[in-house]
Amino acid sequence: MKKLITLLFLLSVLVSNAQSIYDKEFKINGLLGDTVELNSFKGKKVLIVNVASKCGYTPQYAGLQKLYDAHKDSLVIIGFPCNQFMSQEPGDATEIHGFCQKNYGVTFQMTEKVDVKGSEQNEVYQWLTQKSLNGFDDSKVKWNFQKYLLDEEGKLIAVFPSNVKPQSTEITNLL
């Protein structure tokens, strides 16, 4: 019994020490030259997704848009275009924006093209993938359309691989 109490105490300490993305003042350029300030999303869940226009998972843009439309009062979706997986996002900002608008009617937030892994990894993705920074778990971005879900306080609560569709129960049950 004493071991169980100790284990529960340690677990509660770990949970309470989970770090918030809002502890940092992350700012990133938006796809159209605006500035995306993550701190402005406090109080909403945030789904961060690395996206690409020429990927087998690209049709997930439609699901992301439907998810956003259904939950936009309580959910922010941020697409981070990335060209690191078989060069599946070769376009510039104008081309990416045009593709997303024409094919999927995307209205959720999109950032400039970034690296989500490697030596030039964007600082948001450094936070998302390192337990020492996010207090939740270590992860590696394995492919386009990997998803990271943050709670209303900016704490990482789930990581979903590319094959988990945006409107899946795994995601919607956490909204």
Average pLDDT over residues 82-108: 97
Mean pLDDT of the chain: 92
What is the Cα–Cα distance from 3 to 66, expressed in whole angstroms? 46
- 48: pLDDT confidence band, cut at 50, 70 and 90? very high
- What lies within 8 Å, CB to CB, of 49 at 6+ separation is 60, 64, 77, 78, 79, 80, 145, 146, 147, 148, 166
Average pLDDT over residues 5-10: 46
- Residue 154 confidence (pLDDT): 97
Quick: pLDDT tens for 116-157.
Answer: 999 999 999 999 999 999 999 999 999 999 999 999 999 999
What are the residue numbers of the active site? Answer: 55
Domains of the chain by range and CATH? 20-172 (3.40.30.10)
What is the Cα–Cα distance from 75 to 88, expressed in whole angstroms? 27
- Residue 17 confidence (pLDDT): 56
Residue whose structure tokens are 């309580």: 74
- Residue 27 confidence (pLDDT): 96
* Other Cβ atoms closer than 10 A to 42: 13
